[in-house]
């Protein structure tokens, strides 16, 4: 949780790659509940990449707009 309303994530790919992600204003929503209580479940994610500059460091993060459990 970040800022009382956002959910910060680390996405991990099948080959071990990692990517920072954030879902804005979702904490008390079905999306936020699913992301916070995933219990190791896999998801399909919808969103986009955005350049991330924080305290002088440059990077990329994924902005999560929606998610669905992997069936």
Name the CA radius of gyration of the chain, rounded. 12
The answer to whether residues 12 and 18 touch, using CB atoms and an 8 Å cutoff, is yes
Q: What is the pLDDT of residue 63?
A: 97
Q: What is the pLDDT of residue 41?
A: 84
**What's the chain's average pLDDT?**
90
CA-nearest of 20, 18, 10 to 49 is 20
40-64, pLDDT tens digit by residue? Answer: 888 999 999 999 998 999 999 999 9
* Strand 7-12 with 18-23, pairing: antiparallel
Q: What pTM did the predictor assign?
A: 0.83
- Report the 10 Å Cβ neighbour count for 16: 6
DSSP β-bridge partners for residue 10: 20
């Amino acid at each position: 949780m970040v800022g009382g309303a956002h959910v910060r994530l680390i996405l991990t790919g099948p080959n071990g790659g990692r990517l920072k992600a954030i879902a804005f204003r979702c904490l008390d929503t079905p999306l936020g509940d699913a992301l916070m209580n995933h219990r190791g479940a896999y998801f399909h994610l919808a969103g986009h990449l955005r350049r991330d500059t924080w305290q002088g460091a440059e990077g990329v993060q994924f902005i999560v707009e929606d998610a669905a459990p992997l069936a």
